[in-house]
Structure formats: C-alpha cells, structure tokens
C-alpha cells in the first residue's frame, strides 16, 4: 500500500512539474515571439535565440520532472528524498537561468505605437543576483536536511515503522 501511495504522490507532483516547467513556458515563449496588440501596435520581445532558450527549458524541465518523481515518491525524511531534492534544486537553478534570464541580464523591448517607434530596456542584474543568493540558501537548507536525515536515520526509520 505504501509503495502505491508513494507512486501516486510522485505522479501528481511530476505532472505539476511537467506543466509548470515545460508546457506553460514552452507555450508562453511561442506566444510571446510575435506579440501584437492592435491598440498599441506591434510589440516584439527581442532575445538572441528563442530556439536555444526553449531547448534548455525542455531539457532541464525533463530532468526536474524526473527528479521530482523520485523525490516525491520517496518516503518522508528519507535520505534518497533529500538527495534528489538537492539535485532538483541545483537543476532548478540551471533551469531558471536558462529561461528567465537566458544568460543575459538585459531584456530589450521594442515597440511601435501609432508610428512612433521606441524601446524599453530592463536591467535584471541585481534582481538575478539576489534571486540566486536566495537559491544558494535553499541549497544549504537541502544539504542540512540530508545531513540531518543521515545522522538520525535509525530514529526516523523507527518512527516511520511505528506509524
């Protein structure tokens, strides 16, 4: 019964990760490639290579989803759960970097409103650094979990068997 329950939980979380890390970003990037708002004119999001970004979104999304299955289908407070949660966070860093920021810290919007062309530049350098710093703390937390579960392995297992 435990194994079936674990796998159902893993499948649910994997589905959530597939939708949020692969399907939705893929659709969004395809849609935003050539965004046209009739009242404002044509707005184009300029990035170096969309194909490259989409490729890495799907690639890292697949690994994240696989890790999510392994992690969430594992028993709570187990060492294997902690290991795969840590791997998932690390891959998530790569994933975020590849799709949110795509290796560049500047995003350029060009627009043309009623014959008046212009551009808008967003500098995301500080935001990226803060965001990545927060992610570093998440990695530290996951490492702490792993050490904690390894040290208290016997106690955790006894409690789990009792429940």
Partner 1 sequence: MPIIMPVGTFMVNWITATITFLQQNISHNLTIFIVICIMLVVSGIIVNIIWPGDRPGTIFSKGIEKIEELEGKVDISEKKDIMDEVRRCKDCGNPIGDAEVCSLCGARN
Binding site for partner 1 (CB under 8 A): 1-3, 6-7, 10, 14, 52, 55-56, 58-60, 62-63, 65-67, 69-70, 73-76, 78, 80, 93-94, 97-98, 103, 126, 128-137, 160-161, 163
Q: Give the separation between CA 91 and CA 71, rounded to whole angstroms.
A: 13
Alpha carbons 40 and 78: distance in angstroms, whole number: 54
Q: How far is the CB of 139 from partner 1 (least distance, A)?
A: 9
Instruction: Give min distance, CB of 52 to partner 1, in A.
Output: 8
Count CA atoms closer than 13 A to 125's CA, side-chain side.
3
Alpha-carbon span 99 to 29, nearest angstrom? 9
Closest distance between partner 1 and the C-beta of residue 91, in Å? 10
Q: What is the CA radius of gyration of the chain?
A: 21
The answer to whether 57 and 22 have CB atoms below 8 angstroms apart is yes
70 vs 111 by CB, closer to partner 1: 70
The nearer residue to partner 1, 52 or 121, going by C-beta atoms, is 52
Minimum Å distance from CB 7 to partner 1? 6
């Amino acid at each position: 019964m435990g194994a079936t329950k674990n796998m159902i939980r893993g499948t649910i979380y994997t589905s959530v990760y597939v939708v949020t890390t692969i399907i939705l970003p893929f659709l969004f990037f395809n849609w935003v490639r050539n965004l046209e708002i009739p009242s404002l004119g044509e707005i184009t999001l300029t990035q170096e290579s969309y194909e490259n970004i989409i490729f890495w979104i799907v690639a890292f999304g697949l690994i994240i989803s696989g890790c999510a299955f392994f992690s969430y289908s594992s028993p709570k407070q187990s060492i294997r759960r902690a290991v795969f949660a840590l791997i998932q966070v690390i891959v998530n860093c790569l994933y975020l970097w590849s799709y949110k920021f795509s290796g560049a810290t500047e995003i350029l919007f060009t627009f043309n409103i009623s014959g008046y062309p212009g551009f808008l530049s967003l500098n995301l350098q500080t935001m990226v650094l803060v965001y990545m710093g927060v992610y570093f703390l998440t990695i530290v937390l996951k490492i702490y979990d792993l050490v904690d579960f390894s040290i208290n392995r016997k106690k955790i297992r006894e409690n789990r068997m009792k429940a």
